[in-house]
Amino acid sequence: MQSLRHRLRHWTGRADAFAPEPGLEAIYRDLFLRELKLLGEEDRFFPTGGAANYSLLYLILRIGADFRPTSVLDVGAGQSSLLWAMLQRRGLVGEVLTLENDPDWGERIAAQVTHEVLVTPLASRTVGKREVTTYDWSAARAGRRFDVVLCDGPRGTPRHSRGGVLAMLDDLPHDFALILDDAERDGEQDTVGAIHARLQADRVDYGVGVVRAAKTQVLFAGGRFLPATFL
């Protein structure tokens, strides 16, 4: 099996496919603001600190507007949750569920959105063959399937960061998009590699896209979401 890093190097011609490109943040900001304006929405977002940066906000907006997902799982509450809520209000996305571990932060975001913010404390759980500190994924799933999963929580760890998200690969729909934020970090790259290995082992037909600005997002997609890897 080809490693993801090797595959990305082949596609992009770059050895540092995950390196951020901070100079592009202003470009994604312009694109995000332009699309927001076209929707007739005000810019009330704060893409600062640990929050979603402009390239992630851009990706969410494009996926909502161009692909109209039926069910979204937003992992890690914040600016992303506010944007999914806006897209839902405009009828561009169907169900949205935000998964959060911090009750106070979850409550603050829940007060600003109309969809459910599910707070589950982090606990040590077995996902695949690995023991990870993560959310209660079965409570998040609860008989639901999500065609778009955005993983931007919990707070990162030095290795196998946010590895719990692999639990969402157990029942992957044919049409799916899985976005991992903060892919410039070593811990997230472990998880990006693990997702790639798992999709290959499961013989899933999928593509990979990388968006780089102040932070790096990696997007795995299949079925009707495949063109999203070129956004």
Binding mask 176-205 for ligand SAM (x = CB under 6 A): ------------------------------
Task: Using the minimum distance from each CB to ligand SAM, give the nearer residue, 51 or 197.
Answer: 51
| Site size toward ligand SAM, by CB under 6 A | 16
**Separation CA 213–CA 183 (nearest Å):** 11
Q: How far is CA 8 from CA 2, 95, 128, 210, 230, in A?
A: 10, 32, 24, 9, 13
Using CB under 6 A as the binding rule, whether residue 76 contacts ligand SAM is answered as yes
Q: How far is CA 67 from CA 53, 71, 141, 201, in A?
A: 21, 11, 22, 27
Which tokens belong to 224? 């009707």
Q: Of these, 55, 79, 191, 216, which contacts ligand SAM (CB under 6 A)?
A: 79
Task: Using the minimum distance from each CB to ligand SAM, give the nearer residue, 154 or 199.
Answer: 154
Instruction: Report which DSSP code applies to 178.
Output: E
Q: Of these, 7, 24, 50, 95, which contacts ligand SAM (CB under 6 A)?
A: 50
Residues, the chain: 231
Ranges within 124-183 binding ligand SAM (CB under 6 A): 152-155
Task: Using the minimum distance from each CB to ligand SAM, give the nearer residue, 50 or 128.
Answer: 50
In the bound complex, which residue of the shown chain has the CB atom lying closest to ligand SAM? 78
Binding mask 92-111 for ligand SAM (x = CB under 6 A): --------xxx--x------
Kindly state the smallest distance separating residue 56's Cβ from ligand SAM, in Å: 7
Kindly state the smallest distance separating residue 74's Cβ from ligand SAM, in Å: 7
**Separation CA 217–CA 84 (nearest Å):** 17
Question: Which of 156, 151, 128 has the alpha carbon at shortest distance from 72?
Answer: 151
Question: Which of 78, 31, 56 has the alpha carbon at shortest distance from 216?
Answer: 56
Kindly state the smallest distance separating residue 94's Cβ from ligand SAM, in Å: 19
Which tokens belong to 41? 């929405």
Kindly state the smallest distance separating residue 164's Cβ from ligand SAM, in Å: 12
Instruction: Report which DSSP code applies to 175.
Output: S
Question: Which of 148, 166, 28, 164 has the alpha carbon at shortest distance from 94?
Answer: 148
Task: Give the binding site for ligand SAM (CB under 6 A).
Answer: 50-52, 76-80, 100-102, 105, 152-155
